[in-house]
Amino acid sequence: MPPWCVLGLTPHSGWAAAVLLGGTPQHPQVLARERLVLCEATEPESRQPYHALAALPLPEAHRRLAHFEARARALASASVRPLAERAAAAGARLAAAGILDASGRGRADLAAILASHALIHAAEGNHFRAALAGACQSLGVSVTRLPRGQLEARAATVLGRPAQQLGDAVRALGAQVGAPWGADQKCAALLAWLLLAQHSTRT
């Protein structure tokens, strides 16, 4: 196995599906499949932080948001670090991470976000993606954020395989680790496979 591996992440509100992939682009190997917890069990509002801020005065909302961001970063770091350690135990270095992104609107200030239900949902998605990105970057891992709608086409181009063939191959990867291997794990694995191929051309 090459001395590096990659991580694919499919975030949701309060958690993310993670697939650690090694091997080669021709023969990828699943090293780990995990569910990463990004919110506090003792603080239910941390799962949907912007919803929790909506009824607060703006200064208090800013203060609470800073708290939620700090806790999400800490939990993301505590979740990603063991995966980097698992990679090292397998004789590889975690070199790159991919985060599945949403095709949403651009950033807005907090007042504008809290005034729009659609922006609240978009901001919550970015809240957890940003925490994961920061956790990876703190370990010296390069981060790519790819919109979900571009994943299959980009992977087919980079890996040089038809989308149907890629889908079958990703389903087969799940046999290496067993259930759960649903849509979130498959997307994380495909994103990791794409990064594995891109990284191999740079080394």
> What is the pLDDT, as a whole number, of residue 58?
95
- pTM of the predicted model as reported, rounded to 2 decimal places: 0.93
Strands in the chain per DSSP E: 4-12, 15-23, 28-37, 93-101, 142-147
**Cα(99)–Cα(121) distance, rounded to whole angstroms?**
17
Task: Give pLDDT tens digits for 45-67.
Answer: 999 999 999 989 999 999 999 99
Q: Is the pLDDT of residue 80 over 80?
A: yes
**Cα(192)–Cα(181) distance, rounded to whole angstroms?**
15
Copy the structure tokens of residue 112. Answer: 């504008």
Quickly state the pLDDT bin for 200 (edges 50, 70, 90): confident
**Residues sharing a CB contact under 8 Å with residue 51, sequence separation 6 or more, in sequence order:** 45, 120, 124
Q: Which domains does the chain have, with CATH numbers?
A: 4-200 (3.30.420.10)
The larger pLDDT score, comparing residue 90 to residue 11, is at 11
Quickly state the pLDDT bin for 90 (edges 50, 70, 90): confident
Q: Is the pLDDT of residue 1 over 80?
A: no
DSSP 203: -
Task: Give pLDDT tens digits for 111-136.
Answer: 999 999 989 999 999 999 999 999 99
CA-based nearest residue to 108, from 90, 120, 93: 120
CA-based nearest residue to 79, from 18, 30, 11: 18
Q: Is the pLDDT of residue 82 over 90?
A: yes
Handedness of CA 39, 45, 51, 52 (dihedral sign): negative
Task: Give pLDDT tens digits for 139-197.
Answer: 999 999 999 999 999 999 999 999 899 999 999 999 999 889 999 999 999 999 999 99
> What is the pLDDT, as a whole number, of residue 203?
58
Quickly state the pLDDT bin for 87 (edges 50, 70, 90): very high
